[in-house]
Amino acid sequence: MSPSTHNLGYTETVALLAAYTGSKVFTSCPSQLVYLSSTSAWITAMLSVIPAALGVIAIYRFVDRFDGITFQRCVELTIGKPLGKMVGLGFLSLILGMDAIALREFSAGFKSAILPETPLNAIIVLGEAVTAYTATLGLEPLGRFIAIAFLPLSILLLAIVFGAFHMELSIAELFPLWGTGAEHTVLGSVQCSSLYADIFAFALLVPYVREEKAGQRLHAGLVSLGLSGLAMAIAIAVGMMSFTAPTLAQMLFPVLQLARLFLSGIFLERIEAIFVFAWLFFGSIKVAFGHWLAASLAADIIGVKRWTAFVWPSAVITYFLAIQPENLTDLFVFQVTVLRSVGWLVAYVLPAVLLGIAGLRGIGSK
């Protein structure tokens, strides 16, 4: 696929990547982090941004060596076509897996929050159809939409968070500050950087981003990562102050629970239904962008230009993956044990290795 068909601006890139990476705050990720790091989870969330940022720099340096061509072509030029296609398939599996997890978690969240009597399957199918359709419209519309919606939705969410300060919040719940120990927290932050493994999408996005000033693309990647880290840290900190760390670690949708606590005056007694709109838009963008990533990568691996042909097949695969886990607890355990362990290796270390190989072989240097 040629990058000439898309043209993303700086704001759109930041909004898209921040929504893709940061929308995890609506799922069980804050709880996972508390489960792993206890009371220091909010510090871990911020510290994890540092190794993730190094990963982003590695990704950028690698793709930037081959300015103007897609990530898959970069990989193939670096390590050869056969091996490159295998690596591409690995990345494709990761994207599809993460997309399926997001779809399942968001659908289950909607079911438990607002539609308890509707079958989960119906919600997943609806979500899948809607996101696949919007993915076929292309990258630019997704970027534009989230660029418009990002600020109002963020303000809404911040209003919820700061509205929560009217409730009885206990700062004491944030202590001990280093939870399981300072050393463990710092070292654990490397593994917990898997939380931001979705930022790997940046690798596929770079050729489509318009660069009006030098270094603007890298800046966009880093800013979106920073915003995601900030959102995660705020959500965890407020969650802990509201529910205590042990309780938060058991919650599947901590931010939704937070929204349920918030009493907005007399007119809106509970605001979770309004909160759902923010949740919905971020979730839809995440899944739709995942479809686009999968489709464009699949088209690049096969070597055809019509990436739209792969959107619906990727949606079908995602659907079947999404309905695999028996329940959300199983998914929770899978994420904590498997994804957190290997996610950072695939998302950051592998591009760094590719960068090293390209550097040693002198391929594609500008």
Which spans of this chain sit near another protein (rule: CB under 8 A)? 1-5, 7, 9, 11-12, 65-70, 73, 77, 110, 114-115, 118, 123, 126-127, 130, 133-134, 137-138, 140-142, 144-145, 147-149, 266-270, 272-274, 276-277, 280-281, 284, 288, 302-309, 361-366
> What residues have CB less than 8 Å from 13, skipping those under 6 apart?
143, 205, 209, 217, 220, 221, 224
Question: Smallest distance from the beta carbon of 349 to another protein, in angstroms?
Answer: 24
Long-range contacts, 230-235 (Cβ 8 Å, 24+)? 230/46, 231/18, 231/22, 231/25, 231/157, 232/22, 232/24, 232/25, 232/29, 232/30, 232/33, 232/45, 232/195, 233/42, 233/43, 233/45, 233/46, 234/42, 234/161, 235/25, 235/30, 235/161
Q: Is 193 helix (H, G, I), strand (E, B) or coil?
A: helix
CA distance linking residue 298 with residue 122, whole number of Å: 27
Closer residue to another protein in complex, CB, 54/263: 263
Closer residue to another protein in complex, CB, 123/248: 123
Question: Smallest distance from the beta carbon of 131 to another protein, in angstroms?
Answer: 9
Question: Smallest distance from the beta carbon of 265 to another protein, in angstroms?
Answer: 9
Q: Which residues pair with 8 in a beta bridge?
A: 209
Closer residue to another protein in complex, CB, 54/313: 313
Closer residue to another protein in complex, CB, 245/294: 294
For residue 331, give Cα distances in angstroms to 214, 257, 282, 334.
Answer: 42, 19, 20, 5
Report the run of H or E that residue 166 belongs to, with start and end. Answer: none
Question: Smallest distance from the beta carbon of 254 to another protein, in angstroms?
Answer: 19
Question: Smallest distance from the beta carbon of 208 to another protein, in angstroms?
Answer: 11
CA distance linking residue 351 with residue 200, whole number of Å: 9
CA angle at 190 for the pair 189 and 191, rounded to the nearest 5°: 90
Closer residue to another protein in complex, CB, 136/185: 136
Closer residue to another protein in complex, CB, 40/296: 296
Question: Smallest distance from the beta carbon of 279 to another protein, in angstroms?
Answer: 9
Phi, psi of 69 (to 5 degrees): -120, 160
Closer residue to another protein in complex, CB, 267/320: 267
Cβ distance 196 to 21 under 8 Å?
Answer: yes
Closer residue to another protein in complex, CB, 218/259: 259
Question: Smallest distance from the beta carbon of 1 to another protein, in angstroms?
Answer: 7
Closer residue to another protein in complex, CB, 119/181: 119
Question: Smallest distance from the beta carbon of 121 to another protein, in angstroms?
Answer: 13
CA distance linking residue 78 with residue 72, whole number of Å: 10
Cβ distance 60 to 217 under 8 Å?
Answer: yes
Question: Smallest distance from the beta carbon of 31 to another protein, in angstroms?
Answer: 23
Closer residue to another protein in complex, CB, 128/198: 128
CA distance linking residue 23 with residue 220, whole number of Å: 17
Q: Is 181 helix (H, G, I), strand (E, B) or coil?
A: coil
Q: Which tokens in the block code for residue 305?
A: 């230009």
Question: Smallest distance from the beta carbon of 206 to another protein, in angstroms?
Answer: 13
